[in-house]
Amino acid sequence: MIDRERLLARFLRYVQVDTTAVEGADCYPSSPGQITLGAMLVDELRAMGIEDVTHSEHGIVVATVPSRGADAEPVVAFNAHVDTSPETTGTDVKPQVVENYSGGDLVLPGDTSKIIRVAENPELNALHRCTLITTDGTTLLGGDDKAGIAVIMELAECLLENDAVVHGPVRLLFTCDEEIGCGIDHVSIEELGATVCYTLDGGGAGDVDYETFSADLAIVTVRGVNIHPSIAKDKMVNAIRAASAFVASLPRETLSPETTSERQGFIHPYQIEGGVAEVTIRIILRDFETAALDEYAERLREAAIEVESKYSGTQVSVETHCQYRNMRDGLVDEPRAVKYAQLAHQRLNREANLSIIRGGTDGSQLTEQGLPTPNLSTGQHNPHSPLEWACLDEMVQATEVIVELVQVWAENPG
């Protein structure tokens, strides 16, 4: 039922469109490539014969695969985002296809210092004879989340091609700027009209993510006094030095992403810019328990007071902004969302791994707004990195799971 070569061709086509999100942009979506890819998806959906397709002024694509042999309710939606992370360039992506992977490390041809090592990617040991897609080492790949897009598009075509598959209405939702926390800023839950939604934005195969971090953004502004260094004595207040001390004071051994795992939260300074007069530090706060975010913000305020006391004349302000909340809190209202995903795996003789995400998805915000949205695997690995890779075989498995999933929802077992 799944056209493996068609799925691969879709993925390769999508990753070559530069859709890098731009943090701080004054437009939505933040980059023109997101509109370009959205238009490609619209054309492909219409070519499949889907008539109910919209592409909003904000780049949001919504389409409906009509029901076949089932009631008009419940409506199942699937979501993926078209943008890629600003952490690594997505310009001029050159995907490398490794057929029949035989094991061993993968040296990337565009930058041979970049090596996908088995020691750092032990999951490769289970993927011998599979088809892998890597970068050339100079860009990210964009599997996050173009693997999800390809899987959803293949789902749509499979449902249209196979009369034997009974399913209710299936809504497709492709969003923009998820990587900078704005994925559903212009999505109307009411207009989407879905009973349940699934983000296709997960790694590997077989995962059903039912928890995410809760997340806030902290913006720390350090203000000093700039003056020509030749007459700076007792006059200059160097914001760069104060900002450096601020960052250095943050707990690294217990609360940084590079030293934590599993259910541990963190305080992560990820961007710093400015000069002697003023420095801005952007910091993400993450924890599975939402209340802990207030504690992390208080640590930042305490650090600000300490820096002001050590660097006379410095002013340090801390402001925080809510980004998303743990989807666990909303999924309890619709237990079928996770239960049916598990059942779809079982009917394919596969084990569903209930898992947590040390990050967030559009599903975090969709769930918070009342649309229960767990996250499913799509074969992504090492996202946001020049060492990113994806597995076609796992993408095929992901498509098979959601084809089965829409049938489970059509049957709507107790």
- Mean of pLDDT values over 70-88: 96
Reported as a single tens digit per residue, the pLDDT across 22-58 is 988 999 999 999 999 999 999 999 999 999 999 999 9
Please tell me the predicted confidence (pLDDT) of residue 55.
98
From the CB of residue 276, how many other CB atoms can be counted at a distance below 10 Å? 17
Q: Which residue has the tokens 């504690």?
A: 295
Active site residues: 83, 178
DSSP collapsed to 3 states, 57-91: CCCCEEEEECCECCCCCCCEEEEEECCECCCCCCC
Name the CA radius of gyration of the chain, rounded. 23
Residue of 145, 38, 102 lying closest to 388 (CA atoms) = 145
**Whole-number Cα distances in Å, 126 to 101, 102, 317, 414:** 10, 11, 49, 35
Q: Is 80 exceeded by the pLDDT of residue 414?
A: no
**Whole-number Cα distances in Å, 222 to 85, 239, 302, 304:** 27, 6, 14, 9
Q: Is 90 exceeded by the pLDDT of residue 359?
A: no
- Mean of pLDDT values over 197-220: 96
What confidence category does residue 114 fall into, taking pLDDT thresholds of 50, 70 and 90?
Answer: very high
Structural domains of the chain sorted by starting position, each given as residue range(s) with its CATH number in brackets:
4-212+326-411 (3.40.630.10), 215-323 (3.30.70.360)
Reported as a single tens digit per residue, the pLDDT across 150-194 is 999 999 999 999 999 999 999 999 999 999 989 999 999 999 999
Residue of 406, 401, 289 lying closest to 356 (CA atoms) = 289
Give the DSSP letter of residue 403: H
What confidence category does residue 413 fall into, taking pLDDT thresholds of 50, 70 and 90?
Answer: confident
- Mean of pLDDT values over 271-299: 97
**Whole-number Cα distances in Å, 411 to 154, 266, 317, 335, 343:** 22, 42, 55, 16, 12
